[in-house]
A and B are shown apart, each in its own frame.
Chain A
Amino acid sequence: MRRRRGLRERGAGDRMSAEQIEIQIIASLVAVTCAIPGVFLVLRRMAMMSDAISHAILLGIVLAFFAVGDISSPLLIIGAALSGVLTVSLVELLNRTKLVKEDASIGLVFPLLFSIGVILISKYAYNIHLDVHAVLLGEIAFAPFDRLVISGFDLGPKSMYVMGGILILNLVFILLFYKELKVATFDAGLAAALGFTPGLLHYGLMGIVSVTAVGAFDAVGSILVVALMIAPPAAAYLLTDRLPRMIILSALIGILSAICGFWAAILLDANIAGSMASVSGLIFLVVFLLAPERGLAAIARRKTRQKREFAGRMLAIHLLNHEGTPEEARESEVGHIEETLRWKEGFAKSVVGYSVKRGDVLVENGRLRLTEKGREFAGRSVVEEFIA
């Protein structure tokens, strides 16, 4: 707490402090590292698996800690990765009995492993840094104070190297097995028939997710790992229809969330990890609403347009049907269109306006009349309907 305030005071000056820059670098590394496996989790409809893994790894960390007695040992990462894979296997085992559905299996397995981890900490590791609060939320603000010093040289924060290493691991995994992951995600049957063992790839990916979660959880905690794994890829999915672009966009959105989140935390004097996750959620919300083709607004606009186009066609057919009949005068009266076609007044007005603008319909002495173009359009529409 004291240290975070300290950060803010220094932030008030006109130069970013070294700590601030380092925190932003670490946060960006975390975000990109999470976004890469996140893309495949989202595409494989396994987003909840990230939640399960990020919790269950606690047990692996605790057990590995008991085994080696050192909180900063790299063996903790291996322990975490193993418990992540254990989670996935247990979920699959339960699922395969067909007595429990997949989402319920996830909901049964990870709380069990997580709670064993929590009990072990509270019982045997109460006095060390491994407390539950830090596990859930992490504290990236402290990251710059744990430094890598080799023979007297300060090489920067340790977690920068840890995250950088995991990022490289993820990049290598994705670059090597990009084609295999793609085909196994799109068409698992074909992948298996071609000999790419989708099961092995699945566990590989889950291993990567586990390692990423354990690396990131020191910085942002186990809950926010989920936000950084899922929100940026989910937003990127709405923005592009190519997988490589989706991966790059996810990484960029992750970085944006990290940096904006950091400054939001400074401004609000709030938890940095929480701010980062909130910003990633906000970015998703904006994309969800405003994405050019797949956003809610674009879909609503498209629907309205289709509805109006269809209504314009109905209006033209209606006018054509009554052309030259005794009721023509009544049926084509401007004020009566909404009544005869049972349209709401505002909608009828907008349809008439649309048809006039298109040049299908003219307004003469308070009556609607088809133009030559409108007559042809209506005739063609009738024929099309008839064929369909």
Chain B
Amino acid sequence: MNREEAIKVEDLTVAYGEKPVLWDVDLTVPSGVLMAIIGPNGAGKTTLIKAVLNLVNTAAGRVLIYGEPYSKQRRIVGYVPQRGSVDWDFPTSVKDVVMMGRYGALGWIRRPGKKEADMALAALEKVGMSRFAERQISQLSGGQQQRVFLARALVQDAQVYLMDEPFQGVDATTERAIVTLLQELRAAGKTVVVVHHDLQTVPEYFDWTALLNVRLIASGPVSEVFTEENLRLTYGGRVSFLRHGERNGAPEDEKRTGERGF
């Protein structure tokens, strides 16, 4: 067992009916990286995360988390699903949703108590949402909902975090706040895997990336694998406008990744 491998995906194939969504994916995520999974719509990014969490049936292959199957490692994996995947009209408060992050550690039947409430409040403080603790969740904006989900993952106190589009539909301030938080998690030695859409910000936010389009095109340090060639392989013909955008941002991005020593 290699302690350095936070997530190891081996020969993973997932199919919905006849159509493969992930096709023989081999991916190793080293411990302590902040990784972006990028790829076009329908590339299987969400499915990959769900496969790691054992939420979809796999046709072939397996996933190991620190050398063990997910069922043995639940406690050390935190999950942030897509914001749109839940019913925000559900009759509950912000604090209550955040406390759900502790349910895994509590196990069956045991109820959350003062300790869990305190942890939830501390996590809300961290994401700048403590004022909203008692608020009904339907009154939140998109960015606030995302922060609540993040706080919920924080109280899980995991080693590995899997996040499905945490930047989707949030404003610039929230995006900055989330990035800072993710980088703090990495600094604390956690491994963070994020499904990401905005190619422009990949070199700025992340140090590791996986390019996915049903098959894994490339994975590794951003400075090595986030190349025009790989992007074209991932996105096909649609890359032309990206190249244009990239050229504008390239010098600064290169300098930044350079500073980080990649």
Q: B174 an interface residue at 8 Å Cβ cutoff?
A: no
Contacting residues of chain A (161-218) with chain B, CB-CB under 8 angstroms: 176-180, 182-183, 185-187, 189-190, 192-196
**Partner-binding segment picked from B23-31, B83-91, B228-236, B241-249:** B83-91
User: Given the known A-B contacts A242-B91, A242-B92, A246-B91, are A186 and B53 also in contact in the complex, defined by CB atoms under 8 Å?
Assistant: no
Among residues of A, the one whose C-beta sits closest to the C-beta of B79 is: A193
Select B86's contact among A98, A177, A186, A192, beta carbons within 8 Å.
Answer: A186
Select B100's contact among A190, A192, A245, beta carbons within 8 Å.
Answer: A190
CA distance A189 to B162 in the complex (A): 13
Which A residues touch B106, using CB under 8 A?
179
User: Given the known A-B contacts A189-B79, A189-B81, A246-B91, are A183 and B100 also in contact in the complex, defined by CB atoms under 8 Å?
Assistant: yes
Other than A179-B106, A182-B92, A182-B100, give 4 A-B pairs with Cβ distance below 8 A. A183-B103, A196-B103, A242-B92, A245-B91
Select B77's contact among A98, A176, A189, A193, beta carbons within 8 Å.
Answer: A193
Among residues of A, the one whose C-beta sits closest to the C-beta of B162 is: A193
Q: Return the CB mask of B68-99 against A: 1 if under 8 Å, else 0.
A: 00010010010101000111001111000100
**Partner-binding segment picked from B107-115, B178-186, B189-197:** B107-115
Q: A243 an interface residue at 8 Å Cβ cutoff?
A: yes
14 A–B contacts from the bound complex (CB under 8 Å): A98-B17, A180-B103, A183-B103, A186-B92, A187-B81, A187-B86, A189-B50, A189-B85, A192-B55, A194-B74, A195-B71, A240-B91, A242-B93, A243-B92
Q: A241 an interface residue at 8 Å Cβ cutoff?
A: yes
Select B111's contact among A178, A189, A195, A242, beta carbons within 8 Å.
Answer: A178
Contacting residues of chain B (167-209) with chain A, CB-CB under 8 angstroms: none
* Size bracket of the B interface: 20 to 34
Which B residues touch A182, using CB under 8 A?
92, 100
Q: Are A193 and B74 in contact (CB under 8 A)?
A: yes
Contacting residues of chain B (15-53) with chain A, CB-CB under 8 angstroms: 17, 50, 53
Min CB gap B193→A, angstroms: 14
CA distance A186 to B90 in the complex (A): 7
Select B136's contact among A176, A178, A193, A241, beta carbons within 8 Å.
Answer: A241
Q: A75 an interface residue at 8 Å Cβ cutoff?
A: no
Min CB gap B59→A, angstroms: 16
Q: A237 an interface residue at 8 Å Cβ cutoff?
A: yes
Residues of A within 8 A of B (CB): 43, 98, 176-180, 182-183, 185-187, 189-190, 192-196, 237, 240-243, 245-246
Which B residues touch A240, using CB under 8 A?
91
Which A residues touch B92, using CB under 8 A?
182, 186, 241-243
Min CB gap B95→A, angstroms: 11
Min CB gap B134→A, angstroms: 10
CA distance A43 to B92 in the complex (A): 12
Which A residues touch B86, using CB under 8 A?
186-187
Q: B141 an interface residue at 8 Å Cβ cutoff?
A: no
Among residues of A, the one whose C-beta sits closest to the C-beta of B134 is: A242
Residues of B within 8 A of A (CB): 17, 50, 53-55, 71, 74, 77, 79, 81, 85-87, 90-93, 97, 100, 103-104, 106, 108-109, 111-112, 136, 138, 152
Which A residues touch B90, using CB under 8 A?
43, 185-186, 243
CA distance A177 to B50 in the complex (A): 25
Closest 3 CB pairs of A and B: A194-B104, A241-B136, A187-B86
Which A residues touch B55, using CB under 8 A?
189, 192-193
Among residues of B, the one whose C-beta sits closest to the C-beta of A185 is: B90
Q: Are A237 and B91 in contact (CB under 8 A)?
A: yes
Q: Are B53 and A196 in contact (CB under 8 A)?
A: no
CA distance A185 to B100 in the complex (A): 12
Select B112's contact among A179, A192, A246, beta carbons within 8 Å.
Answer: A179
Which B residues touch A176, using CB under 8 A?
109
Among residues of B, the one whose C-beta sits closest to the C-beta of A240 is: B91
CA distance A156 to B47 in the complex (A): 58
CA distance A177 to B108 in the complex (A): 8
Which A residues touch B71, using CB under 8 A?
195
Which B residues touch A190, using CB under 8 A?
79, 81, 100, 152
Which B residues touch A185, using CB under 8 A?
90
CA distance A189 to B108 in the complex (A): 17
CA distance A180 to B92 in the complex (A): 14
CA distance A108 to B77 in the complex (A): 41
Which A residues touch B152, using CB under 8 A?
190
Among residues of B, the one whose C-beta sits closest to the C-beta of A187 is: B86
Which B residues touch A179, using CB under 8 A?
103, 106, 109, 111-112
CA distance A78 to B111 in the complex (A): 30
CA distance A98 to B17 in the complex (A): 10
Min CB gap B173→A, angstroms: 16
Which B residues touch A98, using CB under 8 A?
17
Among residues of A, the one whose C-beta sits closest to the C-beta of B137 is: A241
CA distance A293 to B253 in the complex (A): 50
Q: Are B91 and A243 in contact (CB under 8 A)?
A: yes
